[in-house]
Amino acid sequence: MKLWLDTAKIEEIREIASWGVLEGVTTNPSLMARAGTADRKSVARTIDEIVGGPVSAEVISTDAEGMIEEAREILTWSPHVVVKIPTTEEGLKAMKEISKWENGRINATLIFSANQALLAAKAGATYVSVFIGRLDDAGQDGMEVIRETAAIFELHDIPAEIVAASIRHPRHVIEAAISGAHIATIPYAVMKKMIKHPLTDVGIVRFLEDWKKVAG
């Protein structure tokens, strides 16, 4: 499972990229607002320079024509940019058209059911983003949607990659990997928690103390 970062904050991306484990980044209008910028182009370009992998930038339009027009521009911003399209009826129409283009990389977003994932994949999405945290928040089992989608895609040889999105905690990452997600897009705070374990810190202190006893 590939590890992406779910943020538009450049300093967070630089820090996690320095670990050598980062394979992509997703942004959306809310994450842009949290980063305090509306300049999607410069954010996407900077991220691509840092990560050199898929970077999702979302359309603002809600009608197919507007989404297609935005996608035409967004896909020129950097070599790895992916256009994020909401999974609606209008979104499906836009995906079908964009997927015909040579550079038509699509991340179908706001997916809350395996049926939406199936439809997005049929419309030509490269990635389908299932929002597991928001499903859990609504009292549903977000991971079940990942499991169902993974089973359907495997059974029917559907090439779209499943992105576990709206991740809330480190257990979500482990469960997404076991459930068949190809990618987890992880908030910065969760990524920082993934590397931490108190026993690792205690172990380092003990090793250094013991080393001092023999090495002086």
CA distances from 128 to 15, 34, 49, 78, 183 (A): 26, 23, 24, 21, 10
| Of 6 and 70, CB closest to ligand G3P | 6
Residue partners of 215: CB distance under 8 A and separation at least 6: none
Contact range with ligand G3P by CB under 6 A, out of 15-23, 98-106, 125-133, 200-208: 125-133
Residue partners of 142: CB distance under 8 A and separation at least 6: 130, 131, 132, 133, 134, 135, 136, 166, 172
Q: Which of 2, 41, 134, 147 binds ligand G3P (CB under 6 A)?
A: 134
**Residue 170 is a binding residue for ligand G3P (CB under 6 A):** no
Kindly state the smallest distance separating residue 165's Cβ from ligand G3P, in Å. Answer: 4
Concerning whether 84 is annotated as a catalytic residue, the answer is yes
Q: Which of 3, 25, 28, 127 binds ligand G3P (CB under 6 A)?
A: 28
| Spatial distance between the Cα atoms of 85 and 66, rounded to a whole number of angstroms | 11
Q: Which of 1, 3, 6, 35 binds ligand G3P (CB under 6 A)?
A: 6
Q: Which of 77, 112, 131, 153 binds ligand G3P (CB under 6 A)?
A: 131
The helix or strand, by DSSP H or E, that contains position 182, with its residue range, turns out to be none
- Active-site annotation, residues: 84
